Amino acid sequence: MREDGDGLSVIVQVVTRWILVLIVVYGLAVASFGHLTPGGGFAGGVVIACGFVLATLAFGGRSGPARAFHRRVAQLEAAGALAFLGVAALGWTLGHFMQAWMPRGSGLTLASAPFLVLLNLAILLKVGAGLFAGFMVLVLFDRLTDAPREGEGGA
Amino acid sequence: MDTILVGFAVFLLLGSAAALAMRNLLSAVITVGLVGMGLSILFLLLGAPDIAITQVVVEVIVVTVMIRVTTRTADEERGRPRSLVAVVAGVGAVLVLVGAALAAFASLPAFGASRAVPADWYLAHAEPATGATNVVTAILLDFRGYDTLGEVTVILAAIAGALVIARHIAGDGTRDAGGEPDRAPQTRNGEEAPHA
């Protein structure tokens, strides 16, 4: 693994570009259908965070498909939390906080529990961006401790 | 089935012990990853695919991050050989705890034989009340939505705190994490930032 943000070889980068799309779609699917099948916002969010970690490892963080994600990760994370709170607060329109306010369709589809779908997607955003932010913070600390300084063991 | 479960449990125990015994950091991380994957298979066999999925993806990201962090220090051996007294004391403590656990388990109902009353209520009401066939999601997001709200808040606070600290100590090094630094690195306590 080369340092200085160069990333891995071209082969890895090209394949990562293809696979990243599938990973993101898979994460979205796991989260969207979390009320019908195993999975949910947390699992989907971790899948997407894994995808962007892969992109960061392949491209080195200074370029590549995860670049735009890097810059906005804190905002996305806050947006996820606020979306969860907003969806929950809209329950007040029907009575109380956290009430399932969206009309429910029938059958085993996305419409069978739209309230849960929205909450799952909010958690997806929050966990995906949050875990990725955690990864970036770890890498950042790693780089900082790696810088030549006296009295530091680079742990 | 029981034999498979016990086999996996023994495998996990051996893996955990091996991870503790490894002197090479990278080997220990890989062994921990092995234990995590075995744990997810165990969850799947026990009929908890939700937990299994979460376990797999969390394991993947944690092992990736840990390998990324330890690659640099992989050559360093950690710790010293343990003294005989410490080993004997540790094994003795484990034996005592296992004996106590076996005595406690003997008084429990048979494995999988009983559910608590609330569990029955949730199983009966999850689908008609929320429209979710996945009972785990119904509980997490609907019946127990407040808990999930708290969890979301905790993650937000943790990540926000980490980003603030990173921005504070990194100064100009934060181009890749959490946006542009918009303030000078020395803002609190008059403490010198590392790169200042």
Task: Sort out which chain B residues have CB atoms less than 8 A from A89's CB and list them.
Answer: none
Give, for all 155 residues of chain A, the pLDDT tens digit.
444 456 788 899 899 989 999 999 999 999 999 888 888 889 999 999 989 888 888 887 677 777 777 778 888 888 998 999 998 888 888 888 888 888 887 777 888 888 889 999 999 999 999 988 888 887 777 777 665 544 444 43
Strands (E), B19-75: none
What ipTM describes this predicted complex?
A: 0.76
> How many whole angstroms separate alpha carbon B50 and alpha carbon B146?
20
| Range B163-180 average pLDDT | 63
Total domain count for chain A?
1
- Are B1 and B67 part of one and the same domain? yes
Question: The tokens of A78 are what?
Answer: 């806050």
CB contact under 8 Å between B134 and A73, yes or no, is no
Chain B nearest-CA residue for A85: B149
Contact across the interface for A131 and B61, Cβ inside 8 Å = yes
Question: Residue A70 has what pLDDT?
Answer: 79
**Interchain contact, B159 vs A40, CB within 8 Å:** no
Task: Report yes or no on B90 lying in a domain.
Answer: no
- Is A153 a member of any domain? no
- Encode burial over B51-84: b for 16+ CB neighbours within 10 A, e otherwise: bbbbbbbbbbbbbbbbbbbbebeeeeeeeeeeee
Question: Is A46 domain-assigned?
Answer: yes
Point out the residue among A38, A123, A140 whose CB comes nearest to the CB of B166.
A140
Domain assignment present for residue A3? The answer is no
Does some domain include residue B108?
no
Contact A43 B134 (CB under 8 A): no
Q: Last residue of a domain, which of B51, B77, B103?
A: B77
Q: Which residues of B touch A75 (CB under 8 A)?
A: 179
**pLDDT tens figures, B17-53:** 998 888 788 888 999 999 999 999 999 998 888 899 9
Q: What is the pLDDT of residue B80?
A: 67
Give the integer Cα–Cα distance in Å for A47 and A34: 13
* B196, part of any domain: yes
Q: Residue A44 domain-assigned? A: yes
In a domain, A133, yes or no: yes
Contacts with A, B 144-173, CB within 8 Å: 145-146, 148-149, 152-153, 155-156, 158-160, 162-163, 166, 169-170, 173
Radius of gyration (C-alpha) of chain A in whole angstroms: 19
Q: Residue A154: its pLDDT value, please?
A: 40
Per-residue pLDDT tens digits for B112-145 = 676 677 788 888 888 888 888 888 888 888 888 8
Segment B77-110, tens digit of pLDDT: 556 677 889 989 999 999 999 999 999 988 887 7
Q: Is B65 within a domain?
A: yes
Picking from B25, B52, B77, the residue at the C-terminal end of a domain is B77
- What's the gap in Å between the CA of B65 and the closest CA on chain A? 7
Q: Which domain holds residue B20?
A: 1-77
Domain co-membership, B65 together with B142 = no
Token output for B151: 């969890």
Do residue B196 and residue B119 come from a single domain?
yes
Shortest alpha-carbon distance between residue B168 and chain A (Å): 12
Question: Nearest-CA distance from B189 to chain A in Å?
Answer: 20
Beta bridge partners of B77: B24
- What is the number of structural domains in chain B? 2
Query: Which residue among A38, A47, A84 sits closest to B149, beta carbon to beta carbon?
Result: A84
Q: Is residue A1 part of a domain?
A: no
Residue A16 in any domain: the answer is yes
**Which two structure tokens, joined as six digits, stand for B67?**
């390998």
Closest chain A residue to B65, measured at CA: A135
Q: Scanning the structure block, which residue is given the tokens 């542009």?
A: B180
Same-domain check for residues B142 and B195: yes
Q: Are residues B188 and B139 part of one domain?
A: yes
In a domain, A152, yes or no: no
What domain range is A54 assigned to?
10-146
B72 pLDDT more than 70: no
pLDDT at B174: 46
Task: Name B24's bridge partners.
Answer: B77
* pLDDT score recorded for residue A6: 64
Work out the pLDDT band at B179, boundaries 50, 70, 90.
very low
Question: Hey, are the CB atoms on B57 and A138 less than 8 Å from each other?
Answer: no
Q: Is residue B131 part of a domain?
A: yes
Q: What is the mean pLDDT of residues B56-66?
A: 87
What local confidence, expressed as pLDDT, does residue A27 receive? 93
Query: Are the beta carbons of A154 and B155 separated by less than 8 Å?
Result: no
Domain assignment of residue B89, yes or no? no
Interchain pair A73, B169: CB under 8 A: no
E strands of chain A, at which residues? none
In a domain, B192, yes or no: yes
